[in-house]
Amino acid sequence: MKKAEIRKYYENKIKEFEKHNKLYFELSSPKVTDKYYDQLKKEILDLENKYYYLKNVSSPSNSLGYTPSKNFIKSKHRVKMLSLSNAFNKDDLENFEKKIFNYLSQETELEYSVEPKIDGISASLTYKNGELVLGTSRGDGTNGEVITNNLKTIKDIPHKINDKDFPKDIDIRGEVFIKKNDFVKLKNDFANPRNAASGTLRQKNAEETKKIPLNFVAYTYGYFESDKIKKQSDFLSSLKKWGFKTSEYNKILKSINDLENFHRKFENDRFELEYDVDGLVYKINSLELQKRLGFTANSPRWAIAHKFSADSAFSKITDINIQVGRTGALTPVARIQPVNIGGVVVSNATLHNEDEIIRKDIRLGDTVKVERAGDVIPHVVLVDLKKREKKSKKFIFPNNCPSCGSETIKEFNKTTKKYDAVRRCTNEGYDCEKIAIEKIKHFISKDAINIDGLGKKVVENFWDLNLIRFPQDIYNLDYNKISNLEGWGDLSVSNLKYSIDQSKKVPLDKFLYAIGIRHIGIENAKLLAEHVKSIKNFISLVNKSKLNEFLNIDGIGETQINSLKKFFENKSNYKIIEKLSSILNISDLKLNKDGKLLNNTFMFTGKLSNMSRAEAKSLIEENAGSVVSSVNKKLKYLIIGEKPTNRKVQQAKELGIKILSQKEWLNLLD
Ligand code: IVH
């Protein structure tokens, strides 16, 4: 088929998909079977995978295309449902332990609860006084969909628990999945067992869920208060006693070597299991250590998923494109002849950066090995030199940005004393088209402003139609024009309007993250927000060129300050923030108002024993205190560890600031 024919074929499928969505979700009178509907959806997704130029706002791959979430009431998780960071090899595992030791500032033998990572979808079950009162999906991690009735159809999920030791109020969390055998019957309807479980579980009608044999294995908790259970492995045993299914392969192991050996063995045997497992999860067994380690923005510090090795296949590079990212990074992407890798058709593979291309001498027309693991972007592993064409030439990385033509540079890293592997466009701002689009995509993303109904593809589409150029344009969209666009019905336009309106109320830290300053990720945005407290103060600091004040914040350094300065040197960035702050309702950061250390500021000097600075800092913040990084009148306590800086102690004495030893400080907290 020619490109135009493929496009036409695709558009027809989309039209049909829209029609059935309307019949099912708006009119509640489906005219086709679920099987037919799912097949249609699958065909559209397969087409998009195969022909990357196909896109449509109503595609099931788009968040504005039908997402079942609109059909379910949302409920805020009492404790967020986070994901896990991944390890692929021994280095990653060693790194994981190293970070733990650094955080705790001590090296101890760690004991792990090892559990298979079942490839299904997670669910949370709230039990009050032994009764299942609420069941939710993970949703976006903060809010889940209420799917209690659907979950209740799963035979492994108890509705009532009479065990006297069962906590009065607890969220039990685990994985809903479908066994491989049961999937055989459904394999024409869904791409894999995971999709089948997800689709079945989120049926509008619980009776439909009942028809498919779903299973539930419990592995952790959300909200839960107990001082009786001290270990993850004990929690797993309790789950079993209370009547939940737990994995029969759960294990306790100690060293990285043992983890590796078990992983190797399990990886070989996993095909014999009744269900799909895509790795092993290692959790620090001691719940007290888990509590100390806490979480980063997206995942716990005390657990990691050790994935099984990737599937791979050979294919030929037909083109190399340079993508421009939000921060100007130029990423080369190989377009390859579509190839099936572990059940997914892959037609693009990342080449990471310029250095990687040079190191592997990757060229146009080369036959390469492409690897794909789980949800990670496929990448080129090696070149099959035997298959290289004689005429082939080295790939020359462009010196100018392919989007705006500006000069590109490799930055010199003062710490590592090396040039970055990544080449960047020097045009920080909205003058570079590709950077601008990526900045807008970042602005609307989940961890930022979070506009539920506006997906990345829609942003691209609106950009092409000249509907948006800056983030603020989102709040001034021409909805009449949109409703006349192909693929947009009244329902999708009103959904879009609604979610844009909802996004206007945003906490300060999310806003500071959303504006997309390089080196200001979620954690740093939080630090800045805690410091300035309001958007007004933030803008005023920028106006007075007082960004150096942020150096007072423990955790913010030269890199972040330089990046902030560079960002605001560009006047359009400043104007955007001013504009947005007049449109949005940016709420001051909610401070922790309950705690023994409220209104107290602390600073550390010297090495603490058995605790890192990061841990000490979160301990103070959990108790409503704050940590600063310079001695001045605002400081209340200077905490002294081993080998303190004399100058700081001297300054503190001069200003009459109280000086505490680590022990005295911990006594403040009991
Ligand atoms: S613990 C904060 N344990 O993996 C830690 N997760 O990427 C929460 N999963 O969303 C997860 N088996 O769907 C945990 N034994 C296990 C698991 C498991 C599968 C899934 C779960 C989660 C994802 C994390």
Provide, rounded to the nearest whole percent, the portion of the chain with pLDDT above 70.
96
Query: pLDDT at residue 285 above 50?
Result: yes
Residues 111 and 101 reside in one and the same domain: yes
Instruction: Give the pLDDT of residue 29.
Output: 61
Residue of higher predicted confidence among 347 and 217: 217
Query: pLDDT at residue 597 above 50?
Result: yes
Q: Would you say residue 360 lies in a domain?
A: yes
What are the contacts of 298-301 at 24+ separation with CB within 8 A? 298/82, 298/83, 298/85, 298/522, 299/82, 299/83, 299/84, 299/85, 300/82, 300/84, 301/99, 301/100, 301/103
Residues 290 and 147 reside in one and the same domain: yes
Three-class DSSP category at 84: coil
Weakest-pLDDT range from 20-29, 212-221, 563-572, 579-588 = 20-29
Residue-wise pLDDT for 491-520, tens only, equals: 889 889 999 999 999 999 999 999 999 999
Residue-wise pLDDT for 135-166, tens only, equals: 999 988 888 999 999 999 999 999 999 999 99
Span 236-257, average pLDDT: 96
CATH of the domain at 654: 3.40.50.10190
Q: Would you say residue 11 lies in a domain?
A: yes
- Which ligand 1 atom sits closest to the C-alpha of 117? 12
Residues 241 and 274 reside in one and the same domain: yes
Residues 560 and 615 reside in one and the same domain: no
Among protein residues, the one with the nearest Cα to ligand 1's atom 18 is 117
Q: Would you say residue 55 lies in a domain?
A: no
Q: Would you say residue 344 lies in a domain?
A: yes
Average per-residue pLDDT for the chain: 89
- Phi and psi at residue 34, to the nearest 5°: -60, -35
Residues 344 and 274 reside in one and the same domain: no
Weakest-pLDDT range from 87-96, 192-201, 248-257, 322-331 = 192-201
Weakest-pLDDT range from 69-73, 300-304, 407-411, 650-654 = 69-73
Instruction: Give the pLDDT of residue 343.
Output: 66
Q: What's the domain range around 482?
A: 428-503
In whole angstroms, give the CA distance from residue 440 to residue 463.
Answer: 10
Residues 565 and 609 reside in one and the same domain: no
CATH of the domain at 15: 1.10.287
> DSSP characters for 17-80?
HHHHHIIIIISS--SS-HHHHHHHHHHHHHHHHH-TT---TTSTTSTTS--GGGGS-EEE-SS-
Last residue of a domain, one of 503, 533, 559: 503
Residues 147 and 229 reside in one and the same domain: yes
Centre of ligand 1 from the C-alpha of residue 652, in Å: 47
Residues 465 and 499 reside in one and the same domain: yes
Span 88-94, average pLDDT: 90
Give me the amino acid identity at 491.
L
Centre of ligand 1 from the C-alpha of residue 220, in Å: 8
105: left (phi over 0), alpha (psi -120 to 50) or beta: left
Weakest-pLDDT range from 65-74, 257-266, 337-346, 514-523 = 65-74
Residues 414 and 465 reside in one and the same domain: no
CATH of the domain at 353: 2.40.50.140
* Residues noted as catalytic: 117
Name the nearest CA neighbour of 304 among 536, 97, 592, 39: 97
- Residues lining ligand 1, Cβ inside 6 A: 82-84, 115, 117-118, 122, 138, 175, 219-220, 281, 300, 303, 305
Q: Would you say residue 68 lies in a domain?
A: no
Last residue of a domain, one of 503, 523, 555: 503
Residues 338 and 299 reside in one and the same domain: no
Number of domains in the chain: 6
Last residue of a domain, one of 307, 331, 354: 307
In whole angstroms, give the CA distance from residue 245 to residue 118.
Answer: 13
Pick from 82, 86, 122 the residue to mutate for probing ligand 1's pocket: most ligand atoms within 8 Å of its CB. 122
Query: pLDDT at residue 61 above 70?
Result: no
Instruction: Give the pLDDT of residue 375.
Output: 61
Question: pTM of the predicted model, to two decimals?
Answer: 0.65
CATH of the domain at 483: 1.10.150.20
Instruction: Give the pLDDT of residue 70.
Output: 55
Cβ contact 142:80 at 8 Å: yes
Residues 260 and 146 reside in one and the same domain: yes
Residues 401 and 471 reside in one and the same domain: no
